[in-house]
Amino acid sequence: MSPKRSTAAADIGEAAARKTAVALARRVGFYAVTCLISVFFALPLLWLVTAPFDASPAYAIEFPEPTLRNFETILSNPYALPSLLNSLILAVGTALFVVTGAALAAYALSRVRIPGRDALLYVLLLLSSVVTGTAAMVPLFLMVSEVGGAIHPVLGVDSHFSVTLVMTGGLLPAAIFMLKDFVDSIPPSYEESARVFGASPFRVLKDVVVPLITPGLATIAVWSIVNVWGNFLVPFILLRDADKQPAAVLIRTLYTEAGQPNLALLATFSLLYSLPVVAMYLFVSKKYGFRFHGGIKS
Amino acid sequence: MTRIRLTGLTKVFDGGVTALDRLDLTVEPGEFFALLGPSGCGKTTLLRTMAGLEQATSGTIRFAERDVTRVAPGDRDVAMVFQDYALFPHMTVVDNISYPLKVKGRAKPERTARAEEVGRQLGLEALTARRPSALSGGQQQRVALARAVACRPALFLFDEPLSNLDARLRLEARGFLKRLQRELGVTTVFVTHDQAEALALADRIAVMESGRVRQLGTPREVFARPADTFVANFIGSTPMNLVPAEVEGDRLRVAGGVFAAPQGVVAGSAKVTAGIRPEYLRLHDAEPTDAPDAPTGTVSILENLGATTLVTVDCGGESLSAVVPEDAEPAPGSRVWLTPQPGRLLVYDNDSGELLPRRDPAG
C-alpha cells in the first residue's frame, strides 16, 4: 500500500468517526428533550397518585406521610360513591344511545345514495358542537324544563334520562361521522352476498356489518363514555338534586370550611374518579385491540 | 333444473348510462353459460340483474317460467359467487358455508352437517375451523363455491370466478369448476372477460358489447365463425387477421394476392374485410400449385408460443400472422406464401362489420 493511499484511508476513518459522534450527540439531545417534555406531563399525574396518600398534601410533589385517612374521609361523604354510580349510569346510557344510533345512521348514510349526503354530515357535525356548547345552555335548560318537563318528568330537569339524551345529541353527529368511515371501508359484496342468500337488511347489519365494525363501535363507545364522564356543564345545569349529580359535579363541592379547595379530598376523589376510565381503556384495548382511529381510515 | 328466459331486458343507470339494451336471451336447463365481453359491456350488470342486486329498468326475467323481475334477491333461489368471494372474515369456513342455511332458519346440527358434507365434497375438510384470512386464494375460492353449493339453489351465478387466482391455479380451478358443474347439473351463468376461460368452460357463450349480445353460440361456433369483426377481434388468444379485401367474382383480392372467396359471397359487396385466424392460415415456402396468386411476403417476426410459433408476414402492405408447428418454423426474412385452410376464410361487410353471407337475416 502506498503512503498516499493510507492517508486517504485515515481520512475516511476520521470522517466516519466524526459522523458517529454527531449521530451520538443527536441521540443524546433527542432523549434529553423527550425526557424534559415527559417530566412536564408526568408531574401532575405523579401528584395525582401520591397526594391521596399524603396526610397534608400541598401544591408540590413530596414523599407522602403515608396514610389512608383521606380515603376514609371521602368514603364517609354521603354523595361521593353515589356520584360515581351516577356518572356510570349517564356514561353507559349515553354510550348505548350513541352506539346504536350511530350504527344505524352510519350504515344507512354509507349505503344509501341521497343527494347532499356529505353536506348533511358536515352540517350535523358543525351543529353538534353547538348542542352541548356553553352558548346553548340557556335555551337547552329552558327546552328541557319547559317542553320536556311538560311532557313527562323523565324528560324534564333532574332526570338522568334527559341528561343522557342531551349528551347523545351532542355526540351523535361526530360518532356517525367516525363510524361512516368504518362502514365505508367494508366492501359492499359482503352485504350483497348475504342479501342473495336471503338476509334482510337488519340481518345483514347484525350478522355482517356490526361484527366487521366492532373496533369502530368500541372506539365510539369509549369516546362517548369518556366525554360524558368528564362533562361538567350539562349535568351541572340539568341536575339540581345532589343525589343525582355525577362525580364531575361533585368535585366542585370538595372545599374546606375556610372556602379553600381541600387538596387531600380533591386528590383522593380525583384518583377514584379517574380509575374507572383507565380500567375501561385497558379492558377495551385488550379485548378489541383498537387504536384511536379518529375519522381516518387505517 | 331451471331455464332462464330474459326478454327485452333493459337497465339504465341513474346517470343515464344504458348498461343493458333490450336484451333477449335464453339459458337452457343445466347449461354452463358464459357472458363474455370487455369491461363495461354490461355483463356484470346482467348477472347482478339476474341476482336481483340491480333492478331492471324494463323487460322481464323468468326462472323456470316464474317471473322474478321484481322479486327480492333472497327469494330467487339463486346463489352467487362474487369476484372477491365475499367470505365473511369474522366467520370460520364452516360458518361461512352454513350461513345461507342459517338465514333460512335451519337448525344448527343440520347446518353443520350439510356444511361439512359439502366441504368434504370440495376438499375442504382440513380447513373447516379456519378463518378466510388463513386460506390461500384457491382455498378461498373453493369455500365460496361450497357456500353456493350448500344452499342447493336452482341457479348459480358466478362473477369472474377465476380472475383472482394466479395463472397456474386458474387452470386447475377451471377443471374443478367444470367438473363440479357437470356433477351438480345446476344451470350456471358466469361472467368473464377472459375469452380462453369462456371457451374452455362454457356450453354456450354470449359475447356482449355495449349492453347487447353480439353473438350467441357454442365455443366452437364463436371461435370458428365470429358473427362480426368485434367478436372476431375479441375471441382467440392470437388475434384474427382482419385485412381489407375486394370481391372479384368468386375470388377475393387480399394483401396483394388472391384467395378463393367463400361460397355465397357475391360481388355486390365489393369492398369487404377478410378474416382468417392465424391457426387456420398455412405457410408454404414455394408458390403452391393448387393456389396460384396466393398472397406472398417476407417473414418479419417469429413469436414462440411453446409447441407452435406465431409468424408475422409482411405482404402487400399488410401484416398477416400464421401459427405454425415448431418444426415448420420459417427463417426470418425468407419468402413465404399463404393459403387458408378450406372453409376457414371469413368475409365481413365493411359497413356493418357483419359476417357475409348473412345466414339468418332476422337475427
Of the pLDDT bands very low, low, confident and very high (cuts 50, 70, 90), residue B290 is confident
**Residue B267's pLDDT is what?**
58
Residue B53 Cα distances to A98, A240, B41, B294, angstroms: 31, 55, 18, 55
Nearest CA in chain A to B82: A189
What is A78-288's CATH number?
1.10.3720.10
**Residue B363's pLDDT is what?**
35
User: Using beta carbons and an 8 Å cutoff, which residues of A are at the interface with B?
Assistant: 187, 189-190, 192-200, 203, 207-208, 211-212
Indicate which of B99, B149, B155, B163 best probes the interface with A, i.e. most A CBs within 10 Å of its own CB: B99
Least confident of A60-74, B21-35, B319-333: A60-74
Reported ipTM: the value is 0.81
List of residues 6+ apart from B77 with CB closer than 8 A: B63, B153, B154, B155
Does the pLDDT of residue B348 top 70, yes or no? yes
Pick from B294, B219, B287: nearest CA to B252: B294
Of the pLDDT bands very low, low, confident and very high (cuts 50, 70, 90), residue B172 is confident
Contact status, residue A172 vs residue A194, Cβ threshold 8 Å = no
Cell numbers representing residue A48 in the block: 395525582
Is B78 within 8 Å of chain A by CB? yes
Q: Is B171 left (phi over 0), alpha (psi -120 to 50) or beta?
A: alpha
CB–CB of B82 and A193 under 8 A?
yes
Higher per-residue pLDDT: A131 or A6: A131
Percent of chain A at pLDDT exceeding 70: 93
Pick from B184, B180, B169, B178: nearest CA to B135: B169
Q: How confident is the model over B190-237, as pLDDT tens digits?
A: 999 999 999 999 999 999 999 999 999 999 999 999 999 999 999 988
Q: Dump strand ranges (E) for A140-293.
A: none
Q: How confident is the model over A210-225, as pLDDT tens digits?
A: 998 988 898 899 999 9
The stretch A258-270 carries a mean pLDDT of: 83
Q: How confident is the model over B80-137, as pLDDT tens digits?
A: 999 999 999 999 999 999 999 999 888 999 999 999 999 888 888 889 899 998 888 8
Distance from CA of B185 to the nearest CA of A (A): 20
Q: Please give the Cα distance from A41 to A60 (Å, whole number).
A: 14
Q: Please give the Cα distance from B187 to B254 (Å, whole number).
A: 44
How many residues would you count in chain A? 298
Is B146 within 8 Å of chain A by CB? no
Pick from A173, A89, A116, A195: nearest CA to B71: A195
Indicate which of A197, A200, A203, A204 best probes the interface with B, i.e. most B CBs within 10 Å of its own CB: A197
Locate the domains of chain A by residue range: 3-67, 78-288
Distance from CA of A109 to the nearest CA of B (A): 18
Cell numbers representing residue B157 in the block: 351465478
Of the pLDDT bands very low, low, confident and very high (cuts 50, 70, 90), residue B5 is very high
Does the pLDDT of residue B44 top 70, yes or no? yes
Percent of chain A at pLDDT exceeding 90: 35
Distance from CA of A203 to the nearest CA of B (A): 8
Percent of chain B at pLDDT exceeding 90: 60
Higher per-residue pLDDT: A40 or A135: A40
Indicate which of B45, B50, B53 best probes the interface with A, i.e. most A CBs within 10 Å of its own CB: B53
Locate the domains of chain B by residue range: 4-227, 238-356
Of the pLDDT bands very low, low, confident and very high (cuts 50, 70, 90), residue B24 is very high
Q: How confident is the model over B156-170, as pLDDT tens digits?
A: 999 998 888 888 888
The stretch A244-261 carries a mean pLDDT of: 83
Nearest CA in chain B to A208: B88
On average, the pLDDT of chain A sits at 85
The stretch B288-305 carries a mean pLDDT of: 89
Cell numbers representing residue B306 in the block: 411453446
Q: How confident is the model over A79-130, as pLDDT tens digits?
A: 888 999 999 999 999 999 999 999 999 998 888 888 888 888 888 888 777 7
Of the pLDDT bands very low, low, confident and very high (cuts 50, 70, 90), residue B362 is very low
Q: Is the dihedral of CA A50, A56, A57, A61 positive or negative?
A: negative
Is B55 within 8 Å of chain A by CB? no
CB–CB of B90 and A203 under 8 A?
no
Of the pLDDT bands very low, low, confident and very high (cuts 50, 70, 90), residue A297 is very low
Cell numbers representing residue B13 in the block: 343507470
Residue A192 has its nearest CB partner, among B53, B75, B103, at: B53
Chain A residues with CB under 8 Å of B133 CB are none
Contacts of B126-130 with C-beta under 8 Å, sequence gap 24+, read B127/B93, B128/B92, B128/B93, B128/B94, B129/B92, B129/B93, B129/B94, B130/B92, B130/B93
Restricting to B residues 215-274, those with a Cβ less than 8 Å away from any Cβ of A are none
Of the pLDDT bands very low, low, confident and very high (cuts 50, 70, 90), residue B43 is very high
The stretch A262-278 carries a mean pLDDT of: 88
CB–CB of B90 and A212 under 8 A?
yes
**Residue A251's pLDDT is what?**
87
The secondary structure of chain B, three-state, reads CCCEEEEEEEEECCCCCEEEEEEEEEECCCCEEEEECCCCCCHHHHHHHHHCCCCCCEEEEEECCEECCCCCHHHCCEEEECCCCCCCCCCCHHHHHHHHHHHCCCCHHHHHHHHHHHHHHCCCHHHCCCCHHHCCHHHHHHHHHHHHHHCCCCEEEEECCCCCCCHHHHHHHHHHHHHHHHHHCCEEEEEECCHHHHHHHCCEEEEEECCEEEEEECHHHHHHCCCEHHHHHHCCCCCCEEEEEEEECCEEEECCEEEECCCCCCCCCCEEEEEECHHHEEEECCCCCCCCCCCEEEEEEEEECCCEEEEEEEECCEEEEEEEEHHHCCCCCCEEEEEECCCCCEEEECCCCEEECCCCCCC
**Phi, psi for residue B306 in degrees, rounded to 5:** 95, -110
**Residue A263's pLDDT is what?**
84
Is B90 within 8 Å of chain A by CB? yes
Distance from CA of B48 to the nearest CA of A (A): 10
Of the pLDDT bands very low, low, confident and very high (cuts 50, 70, 90), residue A289 is low
Residue B241 CA, distance from chain mean position: 20
Chain B residues with CB under 8 Å of A193 CB are 80, 82, 86
Residue A168 Cα distances to A128, A153, B228, angstroms: 10, 19, 64
Chain B residues with CB under 8 Å of A212 CB are 89-90
Residue with cell 350439510: B114
CB–CB of A187 and B88 under 8 A?
no
**Residue B232's pLDDT is what?**
93
Residue B78 has its nearest CB partner, among A189, A196, A212, at: A196
Cell numbers representing residue B167 in the block: 395463472
Does the pLDDT of residue B53 top 90, yes or no? yes
Is B52 within 8 Å of chain A by CB? yes
Q: Please give the Cα distance from A125 to A128 (Å, whole number).
A: 5
Going across the sheet that includes B251-254, the strands are B257-260, B251-254, B241-248, B271-276, B346-349, B355-356
Residue B340 forms beta bridges with which residues? B281
Contact status, residue B123 vs residue B142, Cβ threshold 8 Å = yes
**Residue B57's pLDDT is what?**
93
Domain B238-356 has CATH 2.40.50.100: yes
**Residue B125's pLDDT is what?**
86
Residue A208 has its nearest CB partner, among B75, B84, B88, at: B88
DSSP letter assigned to residue A257: T
Q: Please give the Cα distance from B329 to B344 (Å, whole number).
A: 22
**Residue B170's pLDDT is what?**
85
Contact status, residue A265 vs residue A74, Cβ threshold 8 Å = yes
Overall fold of domain B4-227: Rossmann fold (3.40.50)
**Residue B1's pLDDT is what?**
77
